[in-house]
Amino acid sequence: MKKRLAFGTLGELLVLAHSEQPPTDPEWKAYIEAWEVHHRANGRSRLLVCTEGGAPTAAQRHILDERVRTFSRDSARAAILSESLFARVVTNALSAMEHARASRFLGGLGARGGPDASQIYRMFARTDLRQALVWLDVSPAREPEVVRYIEQLKDVIKNSG
């Protein structure tokens, strides 16, 4: 079966490449488990997602949201690189879930909505990798290394099955 996602670590960064299709449930489970291990090992997680348009299903987003709830609010960040409208909609949905959780936690004080209000999820155009790295607290000087790694992950997907 053709892979729909590939992931791996590059130092403190967990990098995930998505095809244009949603991941299978076993792929998603493996990724979530890797994210949790990465988070525990580093005391925080910095995730860079590069997608051709594929995104988790509603059920997979629910699993993700349940796991993210176990992280402290400032310890996890995910930058999503895509030109896909669907990926943007999914990122906005994840941001809305996080925002709703924060509003309840803070009693709504000072909470503002919108995709840029999220402390965890942020959407970037493919050409904005440098800004995504800065938001993830990763040195922009690592951009060439990150680009090479993303291409390696894409090749894993392309050459599978």
Residue 100 has pLDDT above 70, yes or no: no
Looking at residue 115, its pLDDT comes to 46
Tell me the per-residue pLDDT of 139-156, one tens digit each, with 9 for 90 and over. Answer: 999 999 999 999 999 999
Tell me the per-residue pLDDT of 71-88, one tens digit each, with 9 for 90 and over. Answer: 766 788 989 999 887 777
Looking at residue 103, its pLDDT comes to 58
Single-letter code of the amino acid located at 134: V
In our burial notation (b when 16+ CB lie closer than 10 A, e otherwise), range 65-81 reads eeebeebeeeebbbbbb
Residue 9 has pLDDT above 90, yes or no: yes
| Residues contacting residue 4 through CB under 8 Å, at least 6 positions apart | 18, 19, 21, 22, 23, 24, 27, 54, 157
